[in-house]
């Protein structure tokens, strides 16, 4: 990782504050790809294109990766942008920290493919990875933003569908409530340089019809947290989705489960993705990787 980190103020000025909002979905996709594809894998790690069932994915491996477990990662992008490739760096660095292979999933995107395409692709990828690795290899699921919501929903679907659950869940800035009614949308509105309730409404409407807002596959806050796997949540204090993270942490803990919630002062939405530039991102990856690794070595 980089040794020439920026302060959060420097980062925002360079990458966000002086950049006009994208004018189209295509421009949004291009910007996410430009940043993510320029973010390096760990030294001596490689990405190999594979299929998990019918779902395209990247297998990320390097000298630190053992067979003690695997990490299945779902990328951010509001269900309408992003690729496995633009999150390969983050997934690989998490894999390095956890000392396992990572798998980044290319689920289908809206509006070309609306709900439930993304979550069902993600679940198919999880099922195939279970089959590919066998019963002895534990799997952790992880993701950021929309991908964080997917990771949580995958664990819930496993319980509903009688499938072996992941050993743990790591959610970064999870988008988990499609009602968009948490008070953080107002309280943190002026602090958030990246997202707004209006932007999230537009993204939601690309992916969902109104009758699906309450489907737990899209809004896992409405799903069951009974016997939920251990979960770690990282979220920035300066993001409107802070309320989603708080709500998920409360629901899973009230159901009697283990949950760790880290709220990072001054940090922004999906800040671990910005590991080439933010020291806090590097630190969060190391902490999360160590946490995940504990569940591969019970």
pLDDT tens profile 186-240? 999 999 999 999 999 999 999 999 999 999 999 999 999 999 999 999 999 999 9
Instruction: Report whether pLDDT(250) > 70.
Output: yes
Across 245-256, average pLDDT: 98
Give the pLDDT score at 19: 84
Query: Residue for token digits 């996709």?
Result: 29
For each of the domains in the chain, give its residue range(s) and CATH number, in order of start.
8-294 (3.40.50.1820)
Average pLDDT, the chain: 97
Task: Dump pLDDT digits (tens) for 52-83.
Answer: 999 999 999 999 999 999 999 999 999 999 99
* pTM (2 d.p.): 0.98
Q: What percent of the chain has pLDDT over 70?
A: 99
């Amino acid at each position: 990782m980089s040794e020439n980190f920026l302060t959060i103020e420097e980062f925002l000025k360079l990458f966000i504050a002086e950049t006009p909002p994208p004018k189209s979905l295509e421009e949004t996709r291009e910007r996410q790809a430009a940043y993510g594809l320029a973010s390096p894998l760990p030294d001596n790690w490689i990405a190999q294109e594979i299929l998990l069932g019918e779902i395209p994915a990247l297998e990320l491996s390097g000298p630190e990766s053992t067979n003690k477990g695997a990490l299945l990662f779902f990328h951010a992008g509001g269900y309408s942008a992003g690729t496995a490739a633009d999150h390969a760096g983050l997934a690989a660095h998490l894999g390095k920290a956890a000392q396992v292979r990572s798998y980044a999933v290319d689920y289908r995107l809206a509006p070309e493919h609306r709900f439930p395409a993304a979550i069902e692709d993600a679940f198919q990828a999880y099922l195939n990875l279970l089959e590919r690795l066998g019963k002895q290899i534990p799997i952790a699921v992880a993701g950021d933003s929309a991908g964080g919501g997917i990771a949580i929903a995958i664990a819930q679907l496993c319980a509903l569908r009688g499938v072996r659950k992941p050993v743990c869940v790591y959610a970064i800035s999870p988008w988990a409530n499609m009602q968009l009614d948490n008070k953080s949308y107002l309280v943190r509105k002026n602090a958030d340089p990246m997202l707004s309730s209006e932007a999230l409404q537009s993204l939601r409407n690309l992916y969902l019809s109104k009758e699906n807002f309450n489907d737990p596959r899209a809004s896992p806050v409405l799903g069951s947290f009974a016997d939920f796997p251990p979960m770690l949540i990282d979220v920035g204090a300066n993001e409107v989705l802070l309320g989603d993270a708080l709500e998920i942490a409360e629901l899973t803990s009230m159901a009697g489960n283990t949950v760790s919630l880290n709220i990072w002062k001054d940090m922004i939405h999906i800040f671990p993705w910005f590991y080439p530039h933010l020291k806090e991102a590097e630190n969060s990856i190391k902490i999360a990787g160590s946490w995940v690794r504990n569940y591969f070595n019970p």
